[in-house]
Amino acid sequence: MFSSLTASFARLSCGSTSRSASSFASSSVASSSRLTTPASSPSALLRSLHSSSLARPTLSSSSRAFPVQSHSLGSVRHRSQLAPRRTKYRKAHKITIPFNTGGSIKGTTVQEGAYGIRLLAPARLTAKQLVAAETALKRKLKVVKGAQVFLRVFPDIPVCVKGNETRMGKGKGAFEYWACRANMGKVIFEIGGPVEIRPEVAKEALRLASAKLPVPTEFVTTASAPRIGNKVVAPAAAVTTSITSPDPATSA
Higher pLDDT, 1 or 88: 88
At residue 103, the pLDDT reads 83
Q: Is 24 helix (H, G, I), strand (E, B) or coil?
A: helix
> Considering the domain boundaries, does residue 49 fall inside one?
no
The 10s digit of each residue's pLDDT in 24-82 is 445 554 444 444 444 456 667 666 666 655 555 554 554 444 444 443 434 454 455 78
> Considering the domain boundaries, does residue 222 fall inside one?
yes
Domain count, the chain: 1
Give me the DSSP letters along 153-207. ----EEEEEPPTTPPS-S-S-EEEEEEEEE-TT-EEEEEE-SSPPPHHHHHHHHH
**pLDDT over 70 percentage in the chain:** 62
pLDDT-based confidence at 231, cuts 50/70/90? Answer: confident
pLDDT at residue 242 is higher than 60:
no
Residue 195 CA to residue 83 CA, distance in Å, equals 30
DSSP class of residue 54? T
At residue 175, the pLDDT reads 92
At residue 162, the pLDDT reads 92
Higher pLDDT, 212 or 239: 212
> Considering the domain boundaries, does residue 77 fall inside one?
no
Question: Other C-beta atoms within 10 Å of 179: how many?
Answer: 22
Q: What are phi and psi of 216, to 5 degrees?
A: -70, 145
Residue 12 CA to residue 18 CA, distance in Å, equals 10
The 10s digit of each residue's pLDDT in 176-220 is 999 999 999 999 999 999 999 999 999 999 999 999 999 999 999
> Considering the domain boundaries, does residue 28 fall inside one?
no
Distances in Å between the alpha carbon of 243 and those of 237, 246, 248? 19, 9, 15
pLDDT at residue 117 is higher than 90:
yes
* Predicted TM-score of the model (pTM): 0.61
Structural domain boundaries enclosing 143: 115-157+179-232
Dihedral sign from CA coordinates of 111, 112, 116, 122 = negative
> Considering the domain boundaries, does residue 197 fall inside one?
yes
Query: What would the mean pLDDT of 222-234 be, rounded to a whole number?
Result: 88
Query: What would the mean pLDDT of 6-22 be, rounded to a whole number?
Result: 53
In a 13 Å sphere around the CA of 134, the CA atoms on its Cβ side amount to: 18
pLDDT at residue 133 is higher than 70:
yes
Query: What would the mean pLDDT of 225-252 be, rounded to a whole number?
Result: 67
Dihedral sign from CA coordinates of 50, 56, 61, 62 = positive
Residue 172 CA to residue 159 CA, distance in Å, equals 10
Residue 125 makes CB contacts below 8 A (sequence gap 6+) with 153, 155, 179, 180, 182, 188, 213, 214, 215
- In degrees, rounded to 5, the angle at the alpha carbon of residue 220 between the alpha carbons of residues 216 and 223 is 155
> Considering the domain boundaries, does residue 50 fall inside one?
no
At residue 33, the pLDDT reads 47
At residue 98, the pLDDT reads 82
| CATH value at residue 194 | 3.90.1170.10
At residue 23, the pLDDT reads 53
What value does the mean pLDDT of the chain take?
A: 77
Residue 114 CA to residue 192 CA, distance in Å, equals 5
pLDDT at residue 106 is higher than 60:
yes
Query: What would the mean pLDDT of 106-110 be, rounded to a whole number?
Result: 93
> Considering the domain boundaries, does residue 221 fall inside one?
yes
> Considering the domain boundaries, does residue 167 fall inside one?
no
